[in-house]
């Protein structure tokens, strides 16, 4: 997919844009360039519905002077002069932040390549064959199962970063993803399961997520009536997907330095305090092998690292970007802050404070997901949730629904429930009686940057079956 010399051409364009900044007398500047080529196959109603491909790219330019900054997107280097002039007019009217300047170049260790030639060599025909293999597999496993939605994609990217302070990085990378919705429509019952996976490397022709989607379309059939459920807080197992939907809405915001400084985080004012069960820790890893955001530098050009955020239940570190840290100090919200290599960025937006790959770990014994079920006398297994975007990142409260929920009695799954509501406070639940299952591999959610396991929350969540 990537043409020969793609990385070099993106580098050359970044230099031309940087030269335009220098000629305009800009004090500091940086530019991120990217060119991506991809192919995708869409599946609908049990057949391939669309095969597409193409490329996209551009350059994100940031100008910094006297604590002010402006951002512009450039399609190619030929528009650099005009973009710089327009950005300069914006910069003059931007608010100044004392102490905000671009980082200087430092020695940076490299990270493993995320480029896989096998993915780069994939053609539309290759992806169509893989889609056919998935369709055939589902049909062979269940006579009434159909892949009603989803698809397969593969892409290759060439990126480069260049700054006035001497930072230069470039790389080629690949990505492959698959997602399927498997539906069973039989005997006036319609059930489905959605699963996905992604990787920098080549996926199997039929990844495990296909069987998992089929499993949940199957096991949620023939729902039972629940008449003797315990009221109030109950034992609930969240699969890594359901847990990730809630965790991803709440925890990254809780450790965001600017939000903490503005008292908009549920952990504001709690640095050094216990915020989770003492066997739990969170690592934000910018250098995780196979990680979704693994890179040698962040969106500001600051070296990434492996950082402990929560250590044995105590909140010990927050995330900062260069400007986020400078602004919090300049506004008097915090005495000292500096970049932690936690800035994210695209060619269409300037850097902002974010996370890299978040990994939740436990020093306690980690049973298998099946063994988690055996620990529950009266409770529930929730595999997926709807409405996670409504979770409150400032309080940790959430109220969501699920149609992927199983009833557990005396350590055994006794049947599916048609639908249920799930309520609670994730911060309180993580600080209570928590059991993590054995760690899985890289997850398949968008971006794949959360590394979680199934988790048992004992007596801390509420389930209300419809």
Does 174 score more than 60 pLDDT?
Answer: yes
Per-residue tokens: 344 = 């994210």
**Mean per-residue pLDDT for 65-93?**
94
| H-helix segments, 29-116 | 80-93
Are residues 23 and 144 located together in one domain of the fold? Answer: yes
- At 112 the pLDDT is 86
Confidence of residue 2 (pLDDT cuts 50, 70, 90): confident
Q: Are residues 333 and 401 in the same domain?
A: no
Domain of residue 240, residue span: 233-246+363-465
Answer yes or no: is pLDDT of 440 > 80. no
In a domain? residue 261: no
- Report yes or no on 386 lying in a domain: yes
Collect contacts of 188-194 with beta carbons under 8 A, ≥24 apart: 189/221, 189/222, 191/217, 191/218, 191/220, 191/221, 192/148, 192/216, 192/217, 193/217, 193/220, 193/383, 193/404, 194/149, 194/150, 194/384
Residue 447: its pLDDT value, please? 60
Same domain? 411 vs 333: no
Within a domain: 253: no
pLDDT greater than 60 at residue 444: no
Question: What confidence tier does 73 reach under pLDDT thresholds 50, 70, 90?
Answer: very high
Q: What is the pLDDT of residue 448?
A: 75
pLDDT tier, 176 (very low <50, low <70, confident <90, very high otherwise): very high
pLDDT at 303: 96
pLDDT value, residue 231: 75
- What is the mean predicted confidence (pLDDT) over 433-447? 76
Q: Can you tell me the distance from the alpha carbon of 167 to that of 454, in angstroms, rounded to the nearest whole number?
A: 41
Residue 227 inside a domain? The answer is no
Tokens 């010990």 sit on residue = 316
Tell whether 72 and 53 lie within a shared domain: yes
Among 300, 331, 357, residue at a domain's last position: 357
Q: What is the pLDDT of residues 265-298, one digit of tens each?
A: 999 999 999 999 999 999 999 999 888 899 999 9
Report the number of distinct structural domains present in the chain.
3
- Residues 73-90, mean pLDDT to the nearest whole number: 93
pLDDT at 232 over 90: no
In a domain, 302, yes or no: yes
CB atoms within 10 A of CB 222: 11
> Is the same domain home to 333 and 415?
no
Residue 226 lies in a domain: no
Q: Please tell me whether residues 309 and 380 are part of one structural domain.
A: no
Specify the pLDDT at position 271: 95
Q: Looking at the structure, tell me whether residues 239 and 184 fall in a common domain.
A: no
Give me the mean pLDDT over the 47-72 stretch.
95
Q: What is the CATH number of the domain that holds 142?
A: 3.30.2290.10
> Sign of the C-alpha dihedral, residues 399, 404, 405, 411?
negative
Domain boundary among 308, 340, 357: 357
pLDDT of residue 445: 58
Question: Each residue of 12-59: pLDDT tens digit?
Answer: 999 999 999 999 999 999 999 999 999 999 999 999 999 999 999 999
- Which of 323, 357, 391 corresponds to the end of one domain? 357
Do residues 20 and 137 both lie within one domain?
A: yes
Residue 102 lies in a domain: yes
Q: What is the reported pLDDT for 159? A: 97
Please state the rounded mean pLDDT for residues 90-113.
93
pLDDT band of 230, cuts 50, 70, 90: confident
For residue 374, pLDDT over 70 is answered with yes
Are residue 68 and residue 123 in the same domain, yes or no?
Answer: yes
State the pLDDT at residue 442.
60
- 106 Cβ partners below 8 Å, 6+ apart? 303
Judgement on whether residues 347 and 369 belong to the same structural domain of the protein: no
> Any idea which of 172-186, 360-374, 429-443 has the lowest mean pLDDT?
429-443
Quick check: is 347 in a domain? yes
Same domain, 331 and 451: no
| Average pLDDT of span 116-132 | 96
Residues 320 and 413 in one domain: no
């Amino acid at each position: 997919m990537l043409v020969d010399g793609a990385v070099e051409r993106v580098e050359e364009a970044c230099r031309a844009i940087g030269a335009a900044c220098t000629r305009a007398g800009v004090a500091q500047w940086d530019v991120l360039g990217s060119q991506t080529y991809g192919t995708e196959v869409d599946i609908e109603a049990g057949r391939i519905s669309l095969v597409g491909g193409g490329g996209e790219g551009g350059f994100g330019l940031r100008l910094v002077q006297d604590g002010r900054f402006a951002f512009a997107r450039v399609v190619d280097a030929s528009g650099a002069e005009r973009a710089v002039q327009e950005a300069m007019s914006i910069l003059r009217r931007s608010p100044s932040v004392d102490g905000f300047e671009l980082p200087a170049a430092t020695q940076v260790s490299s990270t493993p390549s995320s480029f896989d030639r096998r993915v780069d060599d994939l053609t539309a025909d290759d992806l169509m064959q893989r889609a056919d293999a998935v369709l055939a597999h589902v049909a062979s496993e269940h006579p009434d199962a159909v892949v009603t939605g989803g698809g397969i994609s593969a892409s290759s990217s060439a990126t480069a970063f260049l700054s006035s302070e001497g930072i230069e990085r470039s790389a080629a990378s690949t990505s492959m993803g698959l997602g399927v919705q498997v539906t069973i429509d039989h005997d006036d019952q319609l059930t489905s399961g959605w699963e996905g996976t992604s990787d920098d490397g080549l996926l199997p022709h039929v990844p495990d997520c296909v069987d998992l989607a089929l499993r949940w379309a199957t096991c949620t059939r023939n729902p039972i009536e629940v008449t003797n459920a315990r009221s109030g807080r109950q034992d609930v197992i969240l699969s890594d997907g359901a847990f990730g939907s809630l965790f991803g809405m709440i925890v990254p915001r809780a450790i965001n330095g600017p939000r903490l400084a503005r008292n908009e985080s549920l952990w504001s004012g709690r640095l050094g305090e216990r915020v989770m069960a003492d066997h739990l820790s969170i690592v934000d890893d910018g250098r995780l092998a196979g990680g979704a955001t693994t890179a040698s530098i962040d969106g500001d050009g600051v070296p990434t690292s492996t950082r402990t955020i929560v250590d044995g239940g105590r909140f010990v570190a927050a995330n900062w970007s260069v400007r986020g840290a400078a602004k919090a100090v300049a506004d008097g919200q915090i005495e000292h802050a500096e970049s932690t290599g936690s800035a994210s960025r695209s060619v269409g937006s300037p850097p902002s404070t974010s996370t890299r790959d978040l990994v939740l770990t436990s020093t306690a014994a980690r049973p298998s997901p099946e063994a988690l079920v055996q620990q529950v006398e009266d409770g529930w297994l929730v595999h997926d949730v709807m409405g996670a975007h409504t979770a409150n990142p400032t309080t940790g409260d959430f109220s969501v629904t699920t149609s992927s929920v199983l009833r557990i009695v005396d350590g055994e799954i006794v049947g599916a429930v048609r639908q249920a509501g799930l309520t609670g406070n994730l911060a309180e639940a993580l600080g209570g009686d928590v059991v993590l299952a054995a760690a899985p591999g890289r997850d398949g959610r968008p971006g794949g940057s959360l590394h979680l396991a199934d988790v048992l929350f004992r007596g801390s969540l509420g389930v209300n079956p419809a």
